[in-house]
Each structure stands twice: as structure tokens, then as C-alpha cells.
Amino acid sequence: MRYRWMVALLLLVSQIGLAQGRVVTELVANWKFQKGKQDQAYQVNFNDKAWQKVTVPHDWAIYGPFDKEIDKQVVAIEQNGEKVASEKTGRTGALPYIGEAWYRNEFTLPHYKKGQKVLIVFEGAMSEPRVFLNGQKVGEWAYGYSYFYFDITDQVLEGKKNILAVHLTNQGESSRWYPGAGLYRKVQVIVKNKESIDQWGTFVTTPFISGELAKVNIKTKVSGDRVRLLTQVMDAQGKVVAADSTSKVFGREFEQNLAVQNPQLWSPEKPYLYTAVTKLYVGNTLKDEVTTRFGIREISYKPNVGFSLNGKVRKFKGVCLHHDLGPLGAAVNKAALRRQLRILKDMGCDAIRSSHNMPSLEQLELADEMGFMFLAESFDEWAKPKVKNGYNRFFDEYAEKDIINLVQATRNHPSIVMWSAGNEVPDQWGAEGVKRAKSLQDIFHREDPTRPVTVGMDQVKATMASGFGALLDIPGLNYRTHLYEEAYKTFPQGFILGSETASTVSSRGIYKFPVEKGIDKQYPDLQSSSYDLEYCNWSNVPDDDFVLQDDKPWVIGEFVWTGFDYLGEPTPYDDNWPSRSSYFGINDLAGLPKDRFYLYRSRWNTQEETLHILPHWNWEGREGQTTPVFVYTNYDSAELFVNGKSQGIQKKHSATPQNRYRLMWMDVKYEPGTVKVVAFGKDGKAVAEREMKTAGKPYKIILQPDRKEISADGQDLSFVTVSVVDKNGVPCPKATNQLAFSVKGKGTYRAASNGDPTSLEMFHLPTMKLFSGKLVVLVQSIKEAGTMELTVKGKGLQSAKVTLTSVQ
């Protein structure tokens, strides 16, 4: 391989200014919003009094309603192997994201003095933003997923009110999933001195690491003459462990090498973080200060060895994630992201692919802190379209600029271990596609020589023939398990990455009979079976990937499609209304685990016990009929009992991939009562057991918050799982009761989700039906500490209350 990627990278998790002269203001409140064409809305004296008051991040489309006519696409989805066009009603979520909208905000900068620089930074604006300040256009961008900034020094007013206006346009047929709409990520105004550190101008790497010493290389781009740079590296306790001061500047860039003794290395198991504090001086006057959080770690990709982190070979246990947060839509929320990562951590997941676009900076910050390796992706399209109004319209003008911003804004995050230049791009065919792949990879290499580049390839035969796959640093295969061997022999890299795997479909708590593997299976209720044996014509069940990961040392890991359900792309029901969200998730849209969660957990979480039984045991009308029982466990054998009668002992074996990873009793006859499984250790002795019972009628509501204490910042959330039990406390797995929610005290009701991909109930309204006996309610803090009480009621049910606390 041409590149031996031996790197340890560290990255900016925040550039919050602490020094005189640099002030970062996040524009959260005081926004006014109006959807529709508004002539002259950029002008200072425009009358916006009747506009809606919102906070940013904001997604205007998530408030609905769902409507099958929204972005109805009559297409044949080539990625799904379709040859004939059909009507797709829920492909982009059936939510009203299409159209124009304006945001306006008034702000003052009391700390700003003439002669300073002012930047405005957008971390995501969906989409095609045009930005105006005080009636003047300051810039525009195209890609809704890109971070970008403008210098607004010439437009900003000193000591006066500034009027910011942002115009957004979302076209139909511009996405293959729900893109969201609006200013869905942070907006910041940065005031700094003329002599200052450039935006995203710090680049930290660790080119040498041993047990005793790490070399920390820091390159810093600056503006200003006769400047001096002081950098201090602090450990996690805030102790200074290295420092350097220099006046030697090459062009506009300083380069410093600092020695950290006895370095603590970053890994998913121990995500240790250091902080570099960089101060810029003119003489003895401090002009600017930036903090950069980073980790010390080494990555390596070698032929026939695979991927190594800090000298240890390992395989990615990863998932793909779209950017929406279920009932919150695309509006970024750190509490919701943290909850997702906690759930994935419990499953044993150690890696994330941002599909198919730039990740939020909040997600990367949490990945650094919580220990997740990251595959940061850029595009779903290049020059050739997948959808009529997709990124292909902007590729020639913006691709390089978007990659530069992605890399410069995120390259200090130790979690990022590779870049992706694209996903299943139609450009995989032909010589022009090969040239584009090389050109994009070269841009990544130029901006960051320390990390390799991949592309998620689904046209594997074509990329083997054209040389497309051979030129990539890392050949990524999306599905195509039957081509892994041939690709490994054909490509020169000496390893293969499962850049997208499985795409198994299921609905939480829904089971279909007979139990058998099925391709593109459909049912009248528009659900998929949670026996985890149904998949698409282009994909497979999880066990097929497990075999490759376990048996082929040259397969370096997988990124499962997907960690959570997401809005839009409701395969296999994308031509059936009212399906409007995906079935691919290991967890549903509410973040509740499906059965498949425990299948992956039984392999990936090697520290904790997994012993999970499916299906539920409420099958009135199926008495005496065959009702197979599966057990997902990290034990090799177990015995199953139905009402005390043994159904025999099952052991994992290699007759089929399913027998290798699941314990399956295929001939169990249903009878109400108790199902129990007893697991055995390697010595044949019983070591664990689980049981489930047939439930009676729904009787009482149960509330289980993920956190009882949250921050009083107006953004933090507690996710409260709501379920129903019978008089004996047995969960009712088929309950569909309509529930109502209310919150009083120092908090508000934010949203709810039940994980049903066919539900047309709006998330923000305080009522929803249970789906498979559960749903989740989101309670949000206000900017005042105290207690809040959530009450949940349902007709004929004993209601429930839970008290939460918010603290400053």
C-alpha cells in the first residue's frame, strides 16, 4: 500500500474563546421565522412582528403534518435494483421540508471595537443559504450539510443593533431521506482582534508515540505581524504537561513540537483527552486565545494485518447513523445525541459512520468524550445524480470547498479515524468516476495527510474493472457479501471494510409467521418481522456479515445500516402509504431497542451478559400452533422451558450462519404461561436464566426516565420510557392505548415517539398511541432550576407521575 497510515490525531472539540479580544456568541434566542417567499425580508426595516418566534437549532418541517403528497417521487431506485418507476410517498419522510423560508435576528456586540474582525459561523443550514447583515448580502452557500463562515467585518455595526437575515430554499426531489429544514445546527458570531488565530486554523497531530513520550505537533495559522505564539498542553486534570513559545512563523503558519511525558492514549475503552491552549501575543499583549481538545493515539492500516489502534489490531464494530434525531427532527440536540451513544455503548458498538454527510460538531465532541471511532462522510452524490435536485447541481463548484471545511473544522477530533469521499455514487462507472475519486481523495490527503480515505461502493464489479476501488486508501464494500473474496483478491490494499452492512428490516415487537428468511417481504400492516430474518434484495441478515468478520482477518470491520431508525426511506414499504420512516434500525425511531440490538450485543459487548428471549408470549388465537423461540446470548448453549416443560437444549454450531450466532427452538407450540431460558457456561453448569410471561389486560402505566436530573439550560432532555403492565406487573407487549402527557413545574413537554414507522401522529402534540406496548416522552428543561412533574394518563389505565430535577 502506498500509504502506511501511522498516525495519532487530535482535534478541535471546541474553539471557545477565553481571551481578551475574542468573544464567541451563540445566537440561540430572539430568532423570528417565516416560511414562504418574503420579498425584501433582508432589509433592516422589514416588518417581522407577526413572524413566529423560535430558537436555533430549529427544524421547521418536523412539526408536520405528515402528508403523502409532500415530495411524492415517481422513480425507480437504482440502489434498490428497481427497473420500473413507482410512486414513493414517504421517501423523504412525508414532512413539509420543501419551500423557502426566512430567519431574522437582532443582536448587538457591545464588546466589538472598530478595527477588530467579525465572523459569522454556520454549522448547518438546510439549504442553499443566503446570508444578509444590515441589508447587505455577505455570502451564500449551497450544501445544506456543510459548515461554513463569512467575514462580516465590513457589514457589522459598532455599538448598534445588527439585523441578520438568512434565506433558505429546499427543493423537492433533493434527497433520498428526510433532510430536515432550517437553521438546524448552531449559528455563532466571533469577534476577535486583527492579530488572531484563523478560523479552524489549528491542526494537532502526534507523529511519534511511545510508552514514555509523545511528540505533539501543532500547526497554527494566524493573521498579524510581529506576533508570538505560546502553547500549553494540559492533561485531563488541568495540569500543564508541556509548553512552547515561538516567534518563528513560516508565511502565516507557526509549527510547534511539544513533548508529553508518559502519554495517556485515546481509545474507545479509555477516551483520554488533552487540551492545548494557544495564545497569540504582540509584544506582551495577549491578542487571541483558542483552546483545542485532542487525544493522543496512533492508527495504522496495513495489508493482511488490517486496522490497528495504538499498536493493537481490532475490527470496527460500527453503525451508520443519519442526522435526524427522530421526534426532534434534524435540529441538533446534545442530550439526544448523548443518549444515542449511551445506547450504542451498551450494545458494544465502538464506531460510527456519519451517513451520508458531515457530522455535527456536537456528535464528534461526544464521540471523543465517550469513546467512539468515527468515519466522517462527505457526500451522497458527486457529478452524477441519484435524485433530480441533489448535490450533483453543486459538485463542480463546491466539492473542494466542502471537503476543505469538513476537514479543517473537524481534523483535531481523535475519534475520526478515516474520511469517506462518498456513498454509492453513480460515478463508480467509467473513467470519469475514477478521475473524480482520485481528485477528491487527493484533496483529503492535502488537507489531512494523516488519515486514509474510503468510498462506500455498491457497484463492486464495476469498481474492480475500472480501477476505482484500487486507487482508494480503503476499499469500502456496501453489502455484496458474495463479492468479498473476489474483491480482496482483486484490490491491492490487502484488506476490505464493510462500509455498510446488513440492512436487515424489522419493527419493534412485531413477529410474523411462519418464521423464515425472506427478501422484500411485505405484510398488510406495513410492518416487518422482528425475528430478524427479513432483508432487501440487495442486502442480507446480520449473521452473513458476522461470518466474514469472524473468519476473514483481512475484513477490518463493519458499519451496520443503521444504529437507529430514521425519518424517510421506508424500505420495503417506500411505495406504500402511510410508511414514512425506516425499518433498518437496530433501535427504533424512539431509541427503543429492537430484538436485533441483543443479537449485536451478544457479539460486541464482551464485558457484560446478554440473554434475550423473543418473541413476546401473548399469542391469543395461536394456541397449539408452532411459534419458534429465539435466544440471543453470549453463552454457547441454553435450555428452554414452556410452563416448566423442557423444549430441549440448543447449542451454537456452524451448520448455518443463524445456528452459529443464535439459539433457536423452531418447533415450540404456543400455550399461554411462562417461557424460561437457562443458559450454561463452558463447564455445562447453569449460569443465568430469564423468563417472560403471558400478560393480562393493560392495567397500569409505568414511567422510566433515562435521567432524573438534567441541566437547567433550556435544551437538556430527559427521555422517559412509557409502558403498560397488567395487574401483576407483567408488561403488555401488544398494548396500543392512546395516552396523554402533561408537564408542570420547571420543564416543558417537548415531544414523543412510539417507534411505529406507519404512525401519522405528530411528535410535538401531547398525545400518542403505544406501539408494541411502549413509547418515549421527551421532557425539556427551562432556564430555571427546580423540579418538574410528568403525568401520563390513558383511558381505563392507572395513570403515572414522575418527578425530575433540573440544576444550574
Give domain status of residue 215, yes or no. Answer: yes
Maximum CA pair distance of the chain? 88
CATH number at residue 641: 2.60.40.10
Name the packing angle between helices 395-410 and 361-370 (round to 10°).
40
Q: What is the pLDDT of residues 664-717, one digit of tens each?
A: 999 999 999 999 999 999 999 999 999 999 999 999 999 999 999 999 999 999
| In contact, 525 and 562? CB cutoff 8 Å | no
Let me know whether 386 and 431 are in one domain.
yes
If asked whether residues 288 and 305 sit together in one domain, one would say: no
**Domain presence at residue 188:** yes
Domain count, the chain: 5
Residues for the chain: how many in total?
808
On whether both 752 and 713 belong to a single domain, the answer is: yes
Distance of CA 300 to the CA centre of its chain: 24
What tens digit of pLDDT does each residue of 786-796 get? Answer: 999 999 999 99
Residues 59, 179: one domain? yes
- More reliable by pLDDT, 354 or 2: 354
Q: Are residues 151 and 230 in the same domain?
A: no
State pLDDT tens for residues 69-105: 999 998 888 777 778 888 989 999 999 999 999 999 9
Cell digits of residue 348: 458494544
Contacts of 227 (CB under 8 A, 6+ apart): 195, 247, 249, 280, 281, 282, 287
**Domain-located, residue 4:** no
- CA nearest to 774, candidates 511, 566, 526, 508: 508
Residue 50: count other Cβ atoms within 10 Å of its Cβ. 7
The H-or-E segment that residue 340 falls in is helix 334-347
Q: Contact, 621 vs 366, CB < 8 A?
A: no
pLDDT, residue 77, reads: 80
Whether the per-residue pLDDT at 64 is higher than 50: the answer is yes
**Residue 604, domain member (yes or no):** no
Question: Rounded to whole angstroms, what are the CA distances from 746 to 97, 597, 749, 801?
Answer: 32, 35, 11, 15
Q: What is the pTM of this model?
A: 0.96
pLDDT tens string 439-461:
999 999 999 999 999 999 999 99
Cis peptide bond N-terminal to 562, omega within 30 = yes
| Chain center to CA of 778 | 19
Query: 752 φ, ψ to 5°?
Result: -145, 155
Q: Which of 693, 708, 743 is the last residue of a domain?
A: 693
**pLDDT for residue 11 is more than 60:** no
- As a whole number of angstroms, the distance between CA 412 and CA 738 comes to 48
Residues 21, 194 contacting (CB under 8 angstroms): no
Residues 6+ apart with CB under 8 A from 111: 23, 191
Distance, first Cα to last Cα, the chain: 53
Q: What is the pLDDT of residue 5?
A: 37
Mark which of 669, 693, 717 sits at the end of a domain: 693
Catalytic residues: 424, 500
Do 362 and 456 fall into the same domain?
Answer: yes
What is the CA 701 to chain-centroid distance, rounded? 31
**pLDDT of 597 over the 70 cut:** yes
Does residue 479 fall inside a structural domain? yes
Residue 316's DSSP bridge partners are: 557
By CB neighbour count within 10 A (0-12 exposed, 13-18 middle, 19+ buried), where does 282 fall?
middle
Can you give the pLDDT at residue 20? 58
Q: Which of 693, 723, 748 is at the close of a domain?
A: 693
What does the alpha-carbon distance between residue 359 and residue 344 come to, in Å, rounded to a whole number? 17
Kindly state the helix (H) or strand (E) to which residue 418 belongs, with its residue range.
strand 416-423
Give CA 555 to chain center in angstroms: 23
Claim to verify: residue 279 and residue 312 sit in the same structural domain: no
The verdict on 103 and 207 lying in the same domain is: no
Ramachandran angles phi, psi of 386, nearest 5°? -105, -40
CA torsion through residues 721, 725, 730, 736, sign: negative
- Domain holding 736, by residue range, is 700-807
User: Which has the closest alpha carbon to 675: 631, 732, 733, 626?
Assistant: 631
Please determine, for residue 217, whether its predicted confidence score (pLDDT) is greater than 70: yes
Which residue type sits at 390? G
294-311 mean pLDDT: 97
Residues 265 and 165 in one domain: no
Q: Say yes or no: 289 and 308 in one domain.
A: no
Residue 17, pLDDT above cutoff 90: no
Q: What is the mean pLDDT of residues 331-347?
A: 98
CATH of the domain at 117: 2.60.120.260
Q: Kindly report the average pLDDT of the chain as a whole number.
A: 96
> Who contacts 112 (Cβ-Cβ below 8 Å, separation ≥6)?
118, 156, 158, 159, 191
Q: How confident is the model at residue 10 (pLDDT cuts 50, 70, 90)?
A: very low
Indicate whether 3 pLDDT > 60.
no
Q: Is residue 584 part of a domain?
A: no
Whether 762 maps to a domain, the answer reads: yes
- Given a cut of 70, is residue 366 above it in pLDDT? yes
> Residues 482-495: pLDDT tens digits?
999 999 999 999 99
User: Residue 517 falls within a domain, yes or no?
Assistant: no
Q: Answer yes or no: do 436 and 348 share one domain.
A: yes
Bond prior to 179 in cis (omega within 30° of 0): no
Based on the fold, state whether residues 183 and 205 are members of the same structural domain. Answer: no
